[in-house]
Chains A and B, each alone.
Chain A
Amino acid sequence: MSILDLFKRRTSAPVARERLQLLLAYERQSRGQPDLVSILREEIMAVIAKHVQIDQDYLQVSMDRGATMSTLEIDIQIPNKSAAPLAMAG
C-alpha cells in the first residue's frame, strides 16, 4: 500500500452498481411469480396449526438474500400452557 492510498477516497458509484446488479438479478427472476415468503408463511402456519394453537402474529418469516446464499429465518413463538393462566391473572 502506497502512502497515497491513504488519501484515496472510496468512491460510492461502484457500490451502487454492485447493489443494483445483485438486486435486479433477483427481481427479474421473481417477476410475475407469487411472493415466496408469504406462501411459505401461510403453509408453515397451516402445518403448525394442525398441532398447536398459535396466533398469526407469533409467526415471523423473513428472507435475507446474499450473493451466493440466502437465509430463511422462521421464528415461531408458542405460548406455554402453564403461562397462559398466569398471564391472565396478571
Chain B
Amino acid sequence: MGKVVVVTSGKGGVGKTTSTAALGAAVARTGKKVALVDFDVGLRNLDLIMGAERRVVFDLVNVIQGTAKLSQALIRDKRLETLYLLPASQTRDKDALTEEGVAEVIARLRSVFDYVFCDSPAGIERGAQLAMRFADEAVIVTNPEVSSVRDSDRIIGLLDARTMKAEQGELVQKHVLVTRYDAARAARGEMLSIDDVLEILSTPLLGIIPESQDVLRASNLGSPVTLSEPLNGAAKAYLEAARRLEGEDLPVVVPFERKGFLDRLLGRRAA
C-alpha cells in the first residue's frame, strides 16, 4: 500500500507545483514508484513543469468519467522509469471531480505506487479539499511572508477537520516546507525567520528551499530541479526534504548569511 501525500498551501504562487515535481522526482530517483496527480482542474501546470505537456492525451477527469483507463492516462517520465504523471483536465466544469471518483482513482494508484503526490490547486474550495481528502501526509508549502503563513494556518485547520483520516479520528501527518527563503533578508530582519514560521504554525519542518534561479531555469526547461541540476542549492534542499519525507532523521540546516561589516557596525539584529 502506497502513501498518499498532498502538496498544498492555500495561497497561490508559493511553489506547490514546483515542489510536487521536485519532491516526486527526488523520491522516484531512489527507485520508488511515484505517481504525481495534478488536481488543478482547469489550470493544469504540472505537465508543463514536468516537460510532458505534449504527451497529454487523457487526464484525471477522463479516468473519473470512465472515458479512459487509468493506465492510458498515466504518462511515464522520459528520464525516470519509476515516475508517472496523471494530468488534470483543462475543462472549466468545476464539478468534473466527484468524491467517489477521486476515491477510486487514489485507491487504485495506492495499490500500484509507493508514493502518490497530489498537487493541490490554490484556495480552500472543492478542488483543494478533494486533493487533500484521502491524504496520509501533507506537505504545506509556505513562503516566509504574512499572507502565505496565514493561509497555511487555514489549510492546517482543514487538514485536521475535512480529511478522511481526520473524520476517522486519525491525523494527517503534516510537514511545513518553506520555499523562496532568502537568508540575507531574514538575517536583516526583513523576512520572517524559520523559527517565526514554525512557532506560528506549530508544525514540523520538512525543509527549507532557498530562493534560487535554478528553480526558474528548471521550470523553463520542463524538468524537476532535482533531476536537471541535482547539485544546486535548491535541488539539494529538495533531495534532503524528500529523504525526511521517507522517514529519514536528517537535521535541517537553516541557510546562513554572514553579516556584512556594515550590519555589524550598525548592530542590525538578526531575526
Q: Which residues from 7 to 31 on chain A have a C-beta closer than 8 Å to any C-beta of chain B?
A: 7-9, 11-14, 16-17, 19-21, 23-24, 27-28, 31
**CB of B260 within 8 Å of the partner chain:** no
Asked whether A20 lies within 8 Å of B149 as measured between CB atoms, the reply is yes
**CB of B47 within 8 Å of the partner chain:** no
Asked whether A4 lies within 8 Å of B154 as measured between CB atoms, the reply is no
Asked whether A24 lies within 8 Å of B188 as measured between CB atoms, the reply is no
A-B contact count (CB 8 A): 51
Asked whether B150 lies within 8 Å of A20 as measured between CB atoms, the reply is yes
Asked whether A13 lies within 8 Å of B150 as measured between CB atoms, the reply is no
Write out the residue numbers on chain A whose beta carbons fall within 8 Å of the beta carbon of B189: 11-14
**CB of B266 within 8 Å of the partner chain:** yes
State which of B91-99, B103-111, B168-176, B192-200 sits at the interface with chain A: B192-200
In the bound complex, CA of A31 to CA of B145 (Å) = 22
**CB of B246 within 8 Å of the partner chain:** no
Least distance between B248 CB and chain A CB atoms (Å): 30
Assuming the A-B contacts A20-B146, A23-B150, A24-B153, are A12 and B200 also in contact, with contact meaning beta carbons closer than 8 angstroms in the complex?
A: no
Write out the residue numbers on chain B whose beta carbons fall within 8 Å of the beta carbon of A7: 266
In the bound complex, CA of A48 to CA of B88 (Å) = 53
Assuming the A-B contacts A11-B188, A12-B190, A28-B157, are A21 and B267 also in contact, with contact meaning beta carbons closer than 8 angstroms in the complex?
A: no
Asked whether B271 lies within 8 Å of A11 as measured between CB atoms, the reply is yes
In the bound complex, CA of A21 to CA of B150 (Å) = 9
Least distance between B259 CB and chain A CB atoms (Å): 13
Asked whether A11 lies within 8 Å of B269 as measured between CB atoms, the reply is yes
In the bound complex, CA of A48 to CA of B161 (Å) = 39
Write out the residue numbers on chain B whose beta carbons fall within 8 Å of the beta carbon of A28: 153, 157
Asked whether B266 lies within 8 Å of A17 as measured between CB atoms, the reply is no
From B154, B188, B192, give the contact of A16 (CB < 8 A): B192
Write out the residue numbers on chain B whose beta carbons fall within 8 Å of the beta carbon of A31: 157
Write out the residue numbers on chain B whose beta carbons fall within 8 Å of the beta carbon of A8: 266-268
Asked whether A13 lies within 8 Å of B266 as measured between CB atoms, the reply is no
CB-CB nearest in chain B for A11: B189
Least distance between A79 CB and chain B CB atoms (Å): 41
From A4, A11, A17, give the contact of B200 (CB < 8 A): A17
From B153, B154, B157, B191, give the contact of A13 (CB < 8 A): B191
In the bound complex, CA of A31 to CA of B191 (Å) = 27
From A9, A16, A21, give the contact of B268 (CB < 8 A): A9
Least distance between B260 CB and chain A CB atoms (Å): 13
Asked whether B196 lies within 8 Å of A13 as measured between CB atoms, the reply is yes
A interface residues (Cβ-Cβ under 8 A, vs B)? 4, 7-9, 11-14, 16-17, 19-21, 23-24, 27-28, 31-32
6 CB < 8 A contacts A-B: A8-B266, A8-B267, A9-B268, A11-B188, A13-B186, A13-B191
